[in-house]
Amino acid sequence: MIFPTEIHAMQLPEWITSERWGEHTLLRVNTTWSTFCISLYGAHALSYVPCGQKDLLWWSTRAFAQKGKPIRGGVPLCWPGFAENTEPFHGTARLQDWILVEAEMTEDYARLLLEPTLKHEVLQVSLEVLVSDRLVLRLHSQNLGSEVMELTQALHTYLQVSAWNDIALTGLDGCLFVDKLNAGSEGVQAGVLHPQEGIDRIYVHSGAVKVLDPGLNRVIWVRKAASGSTVVWHPAEKAATIADMDSAEAEHFICVEAANTHKDKVSLLPGDSWSLETVLSAEPLHV
């Protein structure tokens, strides 16, 4: 269950601007290193553009901009449940309003802290964002109840690429995976991953992934913390059946997600906390 909570939004500093997108409010953060955009609906990161580079995130032009529907693209917060055994699907965090409660600019980064306007009956959650020459998203959870709480979650990151079937993912070699498109069968990744058909895999993996993209001549690093699961997803031809996704546009993303799911569920003791983190950065593929 979720309940109203008394949280008050702060006044925006000059380096943050706000705008409307449909029924949602967007915040744009301007720094010397990069620009960043986040929707207050779902605390949903939508865009991260390092200076001199293309956006690292993909955001559907058909995304719904109305309350009650999740936003397609960017980094949806799947919390406090992830995947099929959750109600609503992928949890409540991405379907509620959040507010900005802290913002500071330092010599090293811009920092935001967002909290939901509705609270879970026992789990407290917040999103911390650090914007610089890399993007850090840190999803904090704490068990305020008197019983153990099981948590599954994901930072469901849509990365922008030249073509999803013309990239290579390194860092997963030798990792066990669960193939959700093949009745949950298990396999082991052999070498570099070259997606060529629809993919929905949960890798038992706690390290970094490099997305090598010759079409954009760049490497996207996906680093993470407090995550023993990495999800790789693309719907391939099924993109045409997804209402808020254009099949031509869908050629230009791959999801590489920091998660706690399947073999990596989190059991939070009373008073315990957990901070799931993903860190995105980019560099040239060929210098």
- What distance in Å separates the CA atoms of residue 47 and residue 73, rounded to the nearest whole number? 9
Cα 3 to Cα 49, 93, 112, 145, 272, distances in angstroms? 35, 13, 24, 15, 21
The catalytically annotated residue of 90, 115, 234, 257 is 257
Is 84 noted as a catalytic residue in this protein?
Answer: no
Q: Indicate left, alpha or beta for 14 from its phi (over 0: left) and psi (-120 to 50: alpha).
A: alpha
The catalytically annotated residue of 120, 156, 205, 234 is 156
* DSSP three-state, residue 240: helix
Helices and strands of the chain, counted as H and E runs: 0, 24
Residue among 162, 78, 114, 137 nearest 280 (CA):
137
- What distance in Å separates the CA atoms of residue 71 and residue 83, rounded to the nearest whole number? 16
Q: 267: which strand partners?
A: 150
How far from chain centre, in Å, is Cα 156? 4
Is 24 noted as a catalytic residue in this protein?
Answer: no
- What distance in Å separates the CA atoms of residue 275 and residue 269, rounded to the nearest whole number? 14
Residue among 36, 38, 43 nearest 114 (CA):
43
Q: Which residues are catalytic?
A: 156, 257
